[in-house]
Amino acid sequence: MTAEVFDSVAGDGPDVVLLHGLFGMGSNLGGLSRSLQDHYRVHSLDLPNHGRSAWTESMALPDLADAVQRWMEHRGLEMAHFVGHSLGGKVAMQLALDAPYRVDALVVADIAPVAYPPSHDAVFAALAAVDGAGCRSRNEAAKLMAEHLQEDSVIQFLLLSLQRNDAGEYRWRFNHKLLRERYAEVREEVALQSPFNGRTLFIKGGDSPYIQDEHRSAIEARFPQAEFEVMSGCGHWLHAEQPALFNKLVRRFLDG
């Protein structure tokens, strides 16, 4: 798999790589990036098939991790700290297991290395409705999406990836057709190999269902040094719901 990975870089110091979730882009973790830039050089990546990165034929976790590792080679980075949210957390975990010499400290935000059932049918329906409508405004797109999605916060998040083409019509920046075709791949477990023995922090949203007590054995089998933090009163989008606390937890762990 060959893929060009788009990145933005800010700050100076030890390298930290930020990986966003499904349907997102590197700027989704912009608040965390800004909070770290006084002491770290922060790389915000767009994963393949997202943002400004290349469209590929795969969303398998090993392929995404390989794309990140090849980006590191291109940038001359031997090792970095990694912070990944949701899908980005799975990719970071996969990279840590595949190439532990690339990962210093690892922070995983609200995801476990387990297989998940499908839960995005309404999102894919909303994306398809907009893609086929030739929308001329974001408001028009939002109204179409509201026929499938009840949460305005989800609609606003997805609208961040809407861009206008040369014909004046709005289209998705991410490869939504490929994401739907390969959706099963992003839901797969992070395969158990030799464990990653580096410093690892899992941060769970207190109201989020993504990390359960029964996932602990799967986490500890892969990441025996794992530490855990729970952010009460927030869900899966913990970095957006309580940014000050999330940034504090990440910074404190990375400072180590």
Catalytic residues, by residue number, are 86, 236
d(CA 158, CA 59): 19
Which tokens belong to 129?
């409705």
d(CA 91, CA 253): 20
Count other Cβ atoms within 10 Å, centred on residue 182: 18
Kindly list the distances between the CA atom of residue 83 and the CA atoms of 26, 55, 177, in Å, as whole numbers in the listed order.
11, 23, 27
Which DSSP helix (H) or strand (E) runs through 76?
A: none
The beta-strand segments (E) located in the chain are 7-10, 15-19, 41-45, 80-85, 103-109, 162-164, 170-172, 200-205, 226-231
